[in-house]
Structure 1
Amino acid sequence: MNQTSLDILQRLPDEFQYRELKGIELRTERQSQEQRERTEAENQQWIAHWESQATDKERARAQYQAAVNRGQAVCAIASLILLSFMLIPGLNRMAERTLKLYEWTHSPATTTATTVTNAHPYSNKTTAPVAQAKVVPFRPLKQHRGPHFYDDTPTGSYDYVLERDGSTAVPIPSPCNGIIGRVWFQGRTGNLSTGFGAGQIVEVACDGGKLWLFGHLVKGSPTKQPGDRITKGEDIGIQGKTGRTSGVHIHNQIHEYSIGIDGVPVRGARITDRKLTQPLIDEYRDFLATGGDK
């Protein structure tokens, strides 16, 4: 209310002054009420907008969590399926090897064989029958050293070349009746500078005896799998030059061994005393040289 309005109001009679002031008061109160209502309405709109956003966020969060849960469930199912594909073949092979070992140890021919004296400390089994089909595939055959390969083998090990009719692509006969141990590839094929390891390896655990490790075979040539039975003179693979070598030859190591719960021989300590290994190698060479007559 400006000064002019006040002057006019003061010249009015008291009754009219009261009425005018009361009207001003009512208008002011009404304007204040309208302002409060507008403010309250704006606040309600803001609260409703905030609640709507919160609901949308919660809905989005729930959808995201549901998607995560579905993804985790799919991954878990896929993992179980993949794990089953990985485990089932191995379990089947283990069962087959255990069955083979049981059948061999309980076969009439085996149980009637005589017990070997000075048997392997881990083995209580008896040897398979000595009678075998005459082995002739590798005769005539020579064994010699180099000069096209380098023998730097550790004490108790042997490197030598097998040759048949001028060829070194010679199948390697098993030195005994026994069980195949590990069949694996070690290192990288190359010369003495670029290669390392013994390449393609086959382990043969002789009944009541020792485990023979054959190295440098042709990759992929092994004819048996771990846990398989093998007969003396039966081929285990082809002589090659995998791993670190300057030429085709065979590497032999002789070890102690035990039998694992799956029926597969477990290679133990290597025998380094040549007084123990040399007679075994000599006997094997005589066997090779005579084509199985000895």
Structure 2
Amino acid sequence: MNQTSLDVLQQLEPEFQYRELKGRELRTERQLQEQRDRIEAENQQFLAHLESQAAEKERAIAQHHAAVSRGNAVCAIASVTLLSFMLIPDLNRMAESTLKLYEWTHSPTTTTTATTVTNATHQEPSKTTAPDAQTKVAPFKPLKQHRGPHFYDDTPTGSYDYVLERDGSTAVPIPSPCNGVIGRVWFQGRTGNLSTGFGAGQIVEVACDGGKLWLFGHLVKGSQTKQPGELITKGEAIGIQGQTGRTSGVHVHNQIHEYSIGADGVPVRGDRITDRSLTQPLIDDYRDFLATGGTSH
């Protein structure tokens, strides 16, 4: 209240002075209340604005996560689609080979009469005993044998490369040439063509009772049916013909070796026989066995 107002107020009667002061007090309180209400409203508006911003931020974060999830899903779908285009043909071929192996080993025509193998199997083999002497041949579905035009034959001396075929397919199981014991099962070299690959790829060795050790190469990796030291019957599958290692086509590679039996009962491969006058009769007998379905001895 300024000096002029005080002068005017003092000139009034006491009663009027009271009323004037009371009125001014009420107006002041009303103004203060209005100011408080205005400030409260502004505060509420500010809080609502903050809440709105927070909600907008949450929506933006949710939209971002949803977009990322959609992007990841799209990438995953694209990756699976691309992967399926890359792997399905190989998986189909693997499934076909596995099915053929299953059919071959479970067909009634392939049922093998088990031959009792004594502990003599794990003794030092007799070099004077003919391979598979007095062995009952297990029947199985015949296989055609040929040298495919897609395969380049650079067989080492005393070894043999050939292609097996059944019903027009080369994805066929390889029968054991004899009753015996599985030797080493291993992978040699690197799979590729004649320029980029080397070695015989997937290898399974079969030591024939009283005879020689046969090395089978270029099999499908992981298709072996037996582990080292396990017994095998003539005609029983040892693996599937393939093109692992250095090769220009599906085929099987044979080498024939001397062998001995290790302390653990697993055959130990010895010197390779390079004299074809010794290996040719063995391989010819095996080819006849393949072609006739187990009717030759």
TM-score relative to the length of structure 1: 0.57
Q: Does 1:131 find its partner at 2:136?
A: yes
Say which of 246, 252, 261 aligns to 2:254: 252
CA contact (8 A) 1:116 1:127 kept: no
CA contact (8 A) 1:201 1:213 kept: yes
Q: In structure 1, what is the Cα distance between the partners aligned to 2:282 and 2:173?
A: 19
Which aligned pairs between 1:134-149 and structure 2 lie closer than 5 A?
Answer: 134-136=138-140, 138-139=141-142, 141-149=143-151
Q: In structure 2, what is the Cα distance between the partners aligned to 1:252 and 1:291?
A: 19
Q: In structure 2, what is the Cα distance between the partners aligned to 1:106 and 1:157?
A: 31
Q: Cα distance, 1:131 vs. partner?
A: 2.9
Which aligned pairs between 1:43-58 and structure 2 lie closer than 5 A?
Answer: none
**Structure 1 residues 198, 117: CA separation in 2 closer, same or farther (over 3 Å shift)?**
closer
**Structure 1 residues 127, 219: CA separation in 2 closer, same or farther (over 3 Å shift)?**
same
Q: Cα distance, 1:105 vs. partner?
A: 2.9
Q: Cα distance, 1:119 vs. partner?
A: 3.0
Name the aligned partner's letter for residue 262 of structure 1. D
Cα shift readout 1:159-217 (whole Å, capped 9, x = no counterpart): 00000110000100000000000000001100000100000000000000000000000
Q: Please name the residue that 1:230 is paired with.
A: 232
**Structure 1 residues 226, 258: CA separation in 2 closer, same or farther (over 3 Å shift)?**
same
**Structure 1 residues 181, 173: CA separation in 2 closer, same or farther (over 3 Å shift)?**
same
Say which of 129, 134, 150 aligns to 1:119: 129
Q: Cα distance, 1:142 vs. partner?
A: 1.2
Q: Does 1:189 find its partner at 2:195?
A: no
Which aligned pairs between 1:95-106 and structure 2 lie closer than 5 A?
Answer: 104-106=117-119
**Structure 1 residues 106, 245: CA separation in 2 closer, same or farther (over 3 Å shift)?**
closer
Q: In structure 2, what is the Cα distance between the partners aligned to 1:187 and 1:176?
A: 27
Q: Cα distance, 1:153 vs. partner?
A: 1.1
Q: Please name the residue that 1:268 is paired with.
A: 270
Q: Secondary structure at the match of 2:211?
A: coil
CA contact (8 A) 2:173 2:240 kept: yes
Q: In structure 2, what is the Cα distance between the partners aligned to 1:285 and 1:131?
A: 17
Q: Does 1:171 find its partner at 2:173?
A: yes
CA contact (8 A) 1:128 1:177 kept: no
TM-score relative to the length of structure 2: 0.57
Cα shift readout 1:134-156 (whole Å, capped 9, x = no counterpart): 422x32x2111121011111110
Q: Secondary structure at the match of 2:148?
A: coil
Q: Secondary structure at the match of 2:257?
A: strand
Q: Secondary structure at the match of 1:269?
A: strand
Name the aligned partner's letter for residue 212 of structure 2. K
Q: In structure 2, what is the Cα distance between the partners aligned to 1:106 and 1:175?
A: 20
**Structure 1 residues 194, 105: CA separation in 2 closer, same or farther (over 3 Å shift)?**
same
Q: Please name the residue that 1:30 is paired with.
A: none
Unmatched tracts of structure 1, length 5 or more: 1-102, 121-125
Q: Please name the residue that 1:202 is paired with.
A: 204
Q: In structure 1, what is the Cα distance between the partners aligned to 2:273 and 2:195?
A: 27
Q: Secondary structure at the match of 2:239?
A: strand
How high is the sequence identity, in percent, across the aligned residues? 81
Q: In structure 1, what is the Cα distance between the partners aligned to 2:156 and 2:119?
A: 39
**Structure 1 residues 279, 159: CA separation in 2 closer, same or farther (over 3 Å shift)?**
same
Name the aligned partner's letter for residue 170 of structure 2. T
Q: In structure 1, what is the Cα distance between the partners aligned to 2:202 and 2:164?
A: 16
Say which of 281, 285, 288 aligns to 1:286: 288
Q: In structure 2, what is the Cα distance between the partners aligned to 1:145 and 1:104?
A: 35
Name the aligned partner's letter for residue 118 of structure 2. T
